Structure 1
Amino acid sequence: MDIIGAGDFAVTNYDGKTVFSYKIPSAERIDFAEEARKEGTFRGSPKIGRNALCPCGSGKKYKNCCLAKKK
């Protein structure tokens, strides 16, 4: 197998200069699905309940404050 053909070659423009780069491929096999399982699932911010106090600090219920502004 040709090592040049297996690599990653890129031409970019950085700070007004043309930059050529070449990256030799890794010898080990990477299983991206397994890596994703190891990291776990991304969970965003916890959902705010409609009757919970609004996180903006107004003292009002979320449904009467910022939730109403979203709609």
Structure 2
Amino acid sequence: MRRNGWRIGGGAVLVAVGVVWTLQGVGLLGGSVMTGVTLWAVIGPVVAVAGLVLVVQGLRRRAR
């Protein structure tokens, strides 16, 4: 059960980081050297999807 909590918590952090990176990459969230850099608009969603995968895995294993 402890392992599932790590997956859910770590996945949630990855989703949040991915969303911030995406917003910075497309220029909607300023104040960083990452603002307006297309690379972060691509990396952000990849990180967010990886986080979602971890959250779903953690929730599925918890349900068993």
TM-score band w.r.t. shorter chain = under 0.3
Q: Higher helix share goes to which structure?
A: 2
Q: Relative contact order: is structure 1 or structure 2 higher (C-alpha 8 Å, sep ≥ 6)?
A: 2
Q: Higher strand share goes to which structure?
A: 1
TM-score (structure 1 length as normaliser): 0.22
Q: Larger Cα Rg: Structure 1 or Structure 2?
A: 1
